[in-house]
Each structure stands twice: as C-alpha cells, then as structure tokens.
C-alpha cells in the first residue's frame, strides 16, 4: 500500500524495521500469525493530511484567528445582531484599509498617465537616434531594435524613480484586499460551522438566529438565492463600470475583463452553497467596492485626496458612465 506525502510516495515499513525503530514492537515475534504489519489506520491520516492539510491549516492560521477576534469584538462591543456586526465590520475595514489604498492606487496611476506624453516624446527622439547610429555602425534590424528597447526600458525606469510612481505600487491594493477578503471569509466559515468558539457561549448558535429578513439563519445557505445573485450582479457592475472607462485597451486587458466577468458569474453558484454569513460579507464588501469605485471618480474627492488631474478626467463622471452604459447596453440595436 502506498501513500503520497509532500510529493513523495511512501511504502509501509517492513515488520523488522518497525521492531528496530519502535521499542514497543520489539517484543512482538516476527514469525507466525502474530507478525505485525502497518495498519491501515496508521497510513490513512497521512493521506488525509496531504489532501486537506492546506485548507485546514489556512482555516486555523493566525490571520484567520485575528479576523475571528475582530468579528467577535465588534459584536461584543456594539451588541448588534450578527448581521449588523458583519455589515459594520465590513464597512469599517473597507473604509479604514482599502479606501486609502485605493486612493493611493489612483494617485500612482494618475502620475503614470501624466508621464505618457513625455515618454512618447522620448521614444520618438530615441528611435531617431538609434536609426542614425544603426546606419553609421551597420547594425542589423534586430540589434537596432534590441538597443532601442533596452535604452527605452532604462529611461522609463528612471522616470518612474524620478516621479516616485512605479506602476507596481498601484498593485498594493490587491495584495492587501484579497488576503483580507480570504481571511474574513474563513473566519466567518469557522464561526458558522462551530470550528471557532468563544468562552461561555456558542457563536454558531448565535449566528443561527442572528440573520434578518429572508435569511434568519446565518449558518445555512440562502435557499432563495437572493444574496448569491446580488453578489454576482454587483461584481458585474464593478467590472462593467471599469470597462466603460477604458479606451484603447490591450488584448491582455480584454482577456482579463472577460475572466473577471466569468468569475463574477461563477461566484453565484458558489455563494449558494456556503453559509449566509459569508455571502452577506461578500455582498457588503462588493457593495463597498462599487461605492468606492464611484467615489474615486468624483472630482471633488480626487482633489481632496490630492490625486493629480489627468487628461482623461471628466467634470461629469457619473453622467458619462450613465451615457456609456446606456449606449452599450440599452440603446444598442
């Protein structure tokens, strides 16, 4: 019998080796009907750990425990029912953590956009210089192109350093928001399934009566599918609003947009199978993301956050979004 562990196949040790390694087995005879073998129960846990170990390890990790304490602390401090505690925790986290990071992301992207005219001018000048040098030195087309690309990459990096706006800094929102979403989801999963406990009371029992309206039991999936469908619709709205504002997007960006659309739709059946507490968190988080997206298009709020103005900015962003949405989905024949 073989069992896979850490990418390696393990074979049960012969009885003689077991006797040599375990003193408790050393007194057992190795011949006859009583010869010991490695029992199935001794191997099965190893296979189970390999199959489910990463999931359970994540569910029991320190960040998930911290997320559980945050949820329990909010509920104990405010005295709100669990549906209210989940909403308040989500709004507080999104407002205190992701909104400032989103504003910083827009700040970096605005500075990068304002650099584009300078980069284009440098690119034209460098291209002319490379053509002249290639004619003088007899470079091949391949050598000339590699020279141009190498120098252009160096110049762009220097410009990013000069203005302190490397595009990678704009990804900090993803590296914070996605793990936070995962940890909060696992924390609610632990609380809803009884995997996490608090002294003196059962959190799972409180969640079972801590819902509202058509989902009074937050430990059970939403049988009406209202919450799951709402999550998918709001996520699709976020994707479409972002897509409407992009002009001349690359093929890669188009593929990414299609991928996110597909994931938004796939979230619906997934959300229909998990506890309503998790879906309520997802719905509130998505709604806050949509609100955050719209807020960061406001000229007044952008000015408040000291986000540089760009050529693509609009004085009437919401009217433009509505007009673009109407043209693409309503007025289209």
Q: What is the pLDDT of residue 250?
A: 66
- What is the pTM (predicted TM-score) of this model? 0.76
Q: Residue 79 to residues 70, 187, 276: CA-CA distances in angstroms?
A: 14, 19, 20
Largest Cα span, the chain: 91
Most confident of 108-112, 241-245, 311-315: 108-112
Task: Tell me the Ramachandran region of residue 200: left when phi exceeds 0, alpha when psi lies from -120 to 50, beta otherwise.
Answer: left
* Mean pLDDT calculated for residue range 62-67: 90
Give the separation between CA 243 and CA 238, rounded to whole angstroms.
9
With beta carbons less than 8 A apart as the criterion, state whether 43 and 34 touch.
no
Query: 276 phi and psi, to 5 degrees?
Result: -65, -25
DSSP string, 39-51: -HHHHHHHHHHHH
Which ranges of the chain does DSSP label H, i.e. alpha helix?
Answer: 15-21, 23-26, 40-59, 62-78, 82-93, 99-137, 141-163, 172-193, 203-208, 226-244, 251-271, 276-295, 299-304, 317-325
Q: What is the pLDDT of residue 247?
A: 57
* Mean pLDDT calculated for residue range 90-94: 93
pLDDT at residue 154 tops 90: yes
88-92, 220-224, 244-248: range with lowest mean pLDDT: 244-248
Q: What is the pLDDT of residue 209?
A: 87
Q: What is the pLDDT of residue 245?
A: 66
pLDDT at residue 28 tops 50: no
Give the separation between CA 139 and CA 144, rounded to whole angstroms.
6
The token duo for 314 is 């609009």
% of the chain surpassing 70 pLDDT: 79
Q: Which of 4, 42, 8 is nearest to 25 (CA)?
A: 42
Question: Within 10 Å of residue 54's Cβ, how many Cβ atoms?
Answer: 10
pLDDT at residue 308 tops 60: yes
With beta carbons less than 8 A apart as the criterion, state whether 170 and 105 touch.
yes
The 10s digit of each residue's pLDDT in 182-194 is 999 999 998 888 7
DSSP string, 39-91: -HHHHHHHHHHHHHHHHHHHHTSHHHHHHHHHHHHHHHHH---HHHHHHHHHH
Q: What is the pLDDT of residue 53?
A: 79
The 10s digit of each residue's pLDDT in 245-294 is 665 566 777 788 888 889 889 999 999 999 999 999 999 999 999 999 89
pLDDT at residue 228 tops 50: yes
Residue 51 binned pLDDT confidence (cut-offs 50, 70, 90): very low
Q: What is the pLDDT of residue 248?
A: 55
Q: What is the pLDDT of residue 197?
A: 56
* Mean pLDDT calculated for residue range 5-10: 41
Q: Residue 248 to residues 7, 64, 238, 253, 261: CA-CA distances in angstroms?
A: 45, 41, 19, 10, 19
* Mean pLDDT calculated for residue range 22-34: 40
Please indicate whether residue 321 or residue 142 has the higher confidence score (pLDDT).
142
Residue 211 binned pLDDT confidence (cut-offs 50, 70, 90): confident
Residue 324 binned pLDDT confidence (cut-offs 50, 70, 90): confident
Extents of the domains making up the chain? 64-109+169-330
């Amino acid at each position: 019998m073989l069992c896979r562990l850490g990418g390696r196949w393990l074979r049960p040790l012969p009885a003689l080796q077991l006797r040599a390694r375990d003193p408790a087995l050393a007194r057992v005879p190795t011949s006859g009907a009583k010869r010991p073998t490695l029992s199935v129960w001794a191997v099965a846990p190893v296979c189970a750990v390999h199959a489910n170990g990463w999931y359970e390890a994540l569910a029991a990790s320190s960040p998930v425990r911290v997320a559980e304490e945050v949820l329990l602390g909010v509920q104990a401090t405010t005295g709100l029912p669990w549906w209210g505690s989940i909403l308040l925790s989500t709004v507080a986290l999104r407002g205190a953590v992701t909104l400032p990071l989103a504003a910083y992301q827009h700040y970096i992207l605005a500075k990068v956009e304002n650099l584009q005219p300078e980069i284009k001018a440098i690119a034209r000048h460098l291209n002319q210089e490379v053509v002249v040098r290639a004619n003088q030195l007899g470079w091949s087309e391949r050598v000339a192109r590699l020279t141009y690309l190498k120098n252009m990459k160096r110049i762009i990096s220097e410009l990013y350093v000069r203005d302190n706006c490397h595009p990678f800094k704009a990804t900090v929102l993803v590296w914070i928001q996605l793990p936070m979403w995962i940890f909060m989801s696992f924390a609610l999963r632990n609380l809803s399934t009884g995997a996490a406990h608090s002294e003196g009371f059962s959190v799972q029992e409180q969640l079972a009566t801590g819902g509202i309206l058509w989902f009074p039991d937050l430990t059970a999936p939403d049988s009406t599918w209202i919450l799951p469908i709402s999550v998918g619709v709001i996520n699709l709205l976020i994707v479409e609003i972002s897509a409407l504002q992009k002009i001349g997007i690359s093929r890669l960006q188009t593929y990414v947009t299609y991928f996110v659309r597909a994931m938004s739709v796939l979230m619906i059946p997934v959300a229909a199978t998990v506890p309503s507490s998790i879906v309520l968190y997802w719905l509130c988080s998505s709604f806050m993301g949509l609100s955050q997206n719209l807020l960061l298009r406001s000229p007044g709020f952008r000015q408040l956050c000291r986000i540089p103005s760009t050529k693509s900015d609009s004085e009437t962003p919401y009217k433009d979004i509505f007009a673009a949405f109407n043209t693409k989905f309503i007025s289209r024949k």
